C-alpha cells in the first residue's frame, strides 16, 4: 500500500485502517489516511490552481486532457479490473466487462457531448448582446462509494473537469487503490498539478473536506443517511450539492409481457454485482394472474446462479465487499423470515464451500407486503422481494410506496400502459422491457434517492453556474 501524499509531521496521529480480502476474510494491508490537517492543504491547492490559471482554461484544452485519459484508461483496463476485483470482490470478468467498460463508455459519451457544447449561448439568436454563460463553479469536492468504484468516480471527475472545475476526490476508504491508479493515470495524461487532488480516508476526512469554506460545490454518491448529513452541511454554507443516493427500485411485471424473458432479465438485474447496485431491480411486483408461474421461473433462475471467488473467470456472483455489509444483509434476511415472508430461495448463512468470505446465498422472498422492512429498505445485497398486485393502479401505488425514487422497470407489451406508467412512477429513470439506458442519459433519482443528475451533458452542467450577461457581444 502506498504511503500517501502530504506526509508532514503533525501533533495529531495519522489514522489508518486494515483492509481485507472479501473472498476469504484474510487481512491484506493497511490503508493510511490523509492527515486531517492536509485536507486543508489539498483544498487550498485546488483553490489557488482554480483562481490562478484553471478558471481561464478553454473547453477545447480540457477535452484534449480527457481524450488522453481515455486512451490510458483503455490501455490499463485490465489493471483497473484486477484492482476492482481485489478491493470489492467483484468477479474478474464482471469487473472487466461491466465495471471498467461502463466507465470507459461514460468518458466516451461525455466527450461526444463536448462536440456541440457551448459555454456561451445567446438568449435570443437575433440579439447576441444578451448571453447565457455557463461558468465553472470552482473547487469541486467529490465523494464516492465502493460499489462501482471506477464508474462512480469517472462520472464525477469527467463532468467536473470538462465543466472547468478543479477537483478534490475522496473515494470510499474501501476502494482507494482503484482511485490511486486513476490518479496516476490522470497525472500521466498531462493534467496540470493542482487540478486533480486525491484525499484518502473515511467519513471524518470526507466531513472535513465538504465543510471546508473554500470548497464551492459538493457532489456525493453514497448512502441516503450520509447524503442527508452532507445536504444539511451544504445548505448551511449555501453550497450547491448533487446527491446520488440509495434505491429500492420496482420491476413491474404485467401478464402481457414475454414472461420468461422478463423474469430472466429481472433476476439478473437484481443479483448482478451481488446486489450491490443502487439501481438494482430489487422489488418484483407481479400481476396476480401470472404470480405462480413467475415464482416457479424465478426459483429455477436463482437455482442456476453460481457463486465463485473474485479472481475466478466466468459468470458468477462474488462475495459482498465487507463483513459489515455481510452482517447488514443477514439482518434483513432474518427480518424477512420473522415478518412472515415466504422464503423461496436462499436464506441466512453462507453458501456451502464458501464459509470463509463474505458470501451470501442468493435469496428470494415471495408474498412480501408493503409493511415489511425488506419491501421498504435498501438491502444492498443479493436479495429479491416479490409482491403480487391485481390492477395497474395498485402496481403504481406499490412501486411508489418506499422513500426512494431512483429507477423503475416495467414489463408489458401495451404501449399506452408503458407510457402511462413511465409518467406515473416517482423516479429519476425508467427502463421498459429490458432496455438498458444509453450512455449519456441523465442518471439520478428523486425523493430519498437524491437530487441532481450525472452523465453526459447533465454531468457537465451540474458543475456550472448560469450567468446572464446583457449589453455586450463576445
* Per CB under 6 A, 222 contacts ligand NAD: yes
CB nearer to ligand NAD: pick between 170 and 272? 170
Helices (H) and strands (E) in the chain, counts: 16, 18
Query: What one-character-per-residue DSSP string does 89-147 give?
Result: ---HHHIIIIIIHHHHHHHHHHHHHHTT--SEEEEETTEEEEEEEEEE-SEEEEE--SS
Residue 172 binding ligand NAD, by CB under 6 A: yes
What is the side-by-side strand order in the sheet with 342-345?
A: 342-345, 363-366, 383-389, 283-287, 250-253, 407-411, 429-432
Residues near 157 by beta carbon (within 8 Å), at least 6 away in sequence: 142, 167, 169, 182, 186, 196
Among the listed ranges 16-24, 26-34, 42-50, 238-246, the one in contact with ligand NAD (CB under 6 A) is 238-246
Q: Which of 183, 244, 301, 454 is catalytic?
A: 244
Q: Which stretch binds ligand NAD (CB under 6 A): 54-62, 103-111, 240-248, 347-355?
A: 240-248
Q: What is the dihedral of CA 331, 334, 335, 341, to 10 degrees?
A: 140
Long-range contacts for 422-428 (Cβ within 8 Å, ≥24 apart)?
424/396, 424/400, 425/250, 425/396, 425/399, 425/400, 426/400, 427/249, 428/453
Residue of the chain from 122, 192, 203, 348 that contacts ligand NAD (CB under 6 A): 203
Q: Which of 165, 177, 278, 287 is catalytic?
A: 278
What is the x/- site pattern for ligand NAD, positions 389-428, by CB under 6 A?
-----------------x----------------------
Among 99, 147, 274, 387, binds ligand NAD (CB under 6 A): 147
DSSP secondary structure code for residue 317 in this structure: B
> Distance between CA 287 and CA 7 in Å, rounded?
60
Comparing CA positions, the residue from 164, 136, 134, 139 lying closest to residue 216 is 139
Residue 463 makes contact with ligand NAD by CB under 6 A: no
With binding defined as CB under 6 A, does residue 332 bind ligand NAD?
no
Q: Does position 70 bind ligand NAD by CB under 6 A?
A: no
Phi, psi of 207 (to 5 degrees): -65, -45
The reply to whether 221 sits near ligand NAD by the rule CB under 6 A is: yes
Of 311, 274, 315, the closest CA to residue 82 belongs to 311
From candidates 163, 259, 262, 278, binder to ligand NAD by CB under 6 A: 278
The minimum distance between CB 248 and ligand NAD, in angstroms, equals: 9
Task: Give the nearest distance from C-beta 403 to ligand NAD in angstroms.
Answer: 12
Which of 34, 90, 226, 363 forms a contact with ligand NAD (CB under 6 A)? 226
User: Measured at CB, which residue is nearest to ligand NAD?
Assistant: 206
Q: Burial, 126: exposed, middle or buried (Cβ in 10 Å; 0-12, 13-18, 19+)?
A: exposed
Window 94-133: contact mask with ligand NAD (x via CB under 6 A): ----------------------------------------
Residue 278 designated active-site: yes
Decide if residue 318 touches ligand NAD (CB under 6 A): no
Residues that bind ligand NAD (CB under 6 A): 143-148, 152, 170, 172-173, 202-203, 206-207, 210, 221-223, 226, 229-230, 244-247, 278, 378, 380, 406, 445, 449-450
Amino acid at each position: 500500500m502506498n504511503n500517501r501524499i502530504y506526509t508532514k509531521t503533525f501533533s495529531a496521529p495519522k489514522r489508518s485502517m486494515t483492509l481485507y480480502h472479501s473472498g476469504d476474510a484474510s487481512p491484506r494491508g493497511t490503508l493510511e489516511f490523509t492527515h486531517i490537517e492536509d485536507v486543508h492543504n489539498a483544498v487550498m491547492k485546488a483553490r489557488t490552481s482554480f483562481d490562478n490559471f484553471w478558471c481561464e482554461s478553454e473547453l477545447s484544452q480540457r477535452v484534449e486532457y480527457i481524450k488522453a485519459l481515455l486512451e490510458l484508461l483503455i490501455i490499463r483496463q485490465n489493471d483497473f479490473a484486477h484492482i476492482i476485483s481485489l478491493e470489492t470482490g467483484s468477479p474478474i470478468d464482471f469487473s472487466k466487462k461491466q465495471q471498467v467498460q461502463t466507465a470507459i463508455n461514460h468518458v466516451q459519451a461525455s466527450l461526444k457531448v463536448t462536440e456541440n457544447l457551448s459555454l456561451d449561448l445567446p438568449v435570443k439568436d437575433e440579439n447576441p448582446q444578451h448571453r447565457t454563460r455557463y461558468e465553472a463553479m470552482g473547487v469541486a469536492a467529490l465523494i464516492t462509494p465502493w460499489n462501482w468504484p471506477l464508474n462512480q468516480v469517472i462520472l464525477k471527475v469527467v463532468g467536473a473537469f470538462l465543466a472547468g472545475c478543479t477537483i478534490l476526490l475522496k473515494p470510499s476508504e474501501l476502494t482507494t487503490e482503484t482511485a490511486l491508479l486513476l490518479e496516476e493515470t490522470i497525472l500521466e495524461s498531462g493534467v496540470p498539478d493542482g487540478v486533480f487532488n486525491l484525499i484518502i480516508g473515511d467519513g471524518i476526512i470526507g466531513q472535513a473536506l465538504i465543510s471546508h469554506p473554500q470548497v464551492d460545490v459538493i457532489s456525493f454518491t453514497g448512502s441516503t443517511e450520509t447524503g442527508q448529513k452532507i445536504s444539511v452541511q451544504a445548505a448551511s454554507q449555501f453550497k450547491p450539492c448533487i446527491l446520488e443516493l440509495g434505491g429500492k427500485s420496482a420491476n413491474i411485471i404485467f401478464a402481457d409481457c414475454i414472461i420468461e424473458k422478463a423474469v430472466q432479465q429481472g433476476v439478473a438485474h437484481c443479483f448482478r454485482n451481488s446486489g450491490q447496485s443502487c439501481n438494482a431491480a430489487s422489488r418484483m411486483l407481479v400481476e396476480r394472474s401470472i404470480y405462480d408461474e413467475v415464482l416457479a421461473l424465478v426459483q429455477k433462475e436463482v437455482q442456476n446462479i453460481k457463486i465463485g471467488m473474485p479472481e475466478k473467470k466466468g459468470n458468477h456472483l462474488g462475495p459482498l465487499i465487507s463483513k459489515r455489509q455481510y452482517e447488514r444483509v443477514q439482518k434483513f434476511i432474518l427480518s424477512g423470515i420473522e415478518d412472515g415472508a415466504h422464503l423461496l430461495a436462499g436464506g441466512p448463512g453462507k453458501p456451502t464451500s464458501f464459509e470463509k468470505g463474505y458470501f451470501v446465498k442468493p435469496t428470494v422472498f415471495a408474498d412480501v407486503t408493503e409493511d415489511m422492512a425488506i419491501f421498504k429498505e435498501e438491502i444492498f445485497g443479493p436479495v429479491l422481494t416479490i409482491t403480487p398486485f391485481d390492477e395497474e393502479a395498485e402496481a403504481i401505488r406499490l412501486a411508489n410506496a418506499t422513500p426512494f425514487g431512483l429507477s423503475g422497470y416495467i414489463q408489458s407489451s401495451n404501449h399506452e400502459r408503458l407510457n402511462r406508467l413511465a409518467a406515473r412512477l416517482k423516479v429519476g429513470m425508467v427502463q421498459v422491457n429490458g432496455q438498458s439506458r444509453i450512455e449519456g442519459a441523465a442518471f439520478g433519482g428523486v425523493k430519498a434517492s437524491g437530487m441532481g443528475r450525472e452523465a453526459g451533458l447533465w454531468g457537465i452542467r451540474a458543475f456550472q453556474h448560469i450567468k446572464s450577461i446583457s449589453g455586450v457581444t463576445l
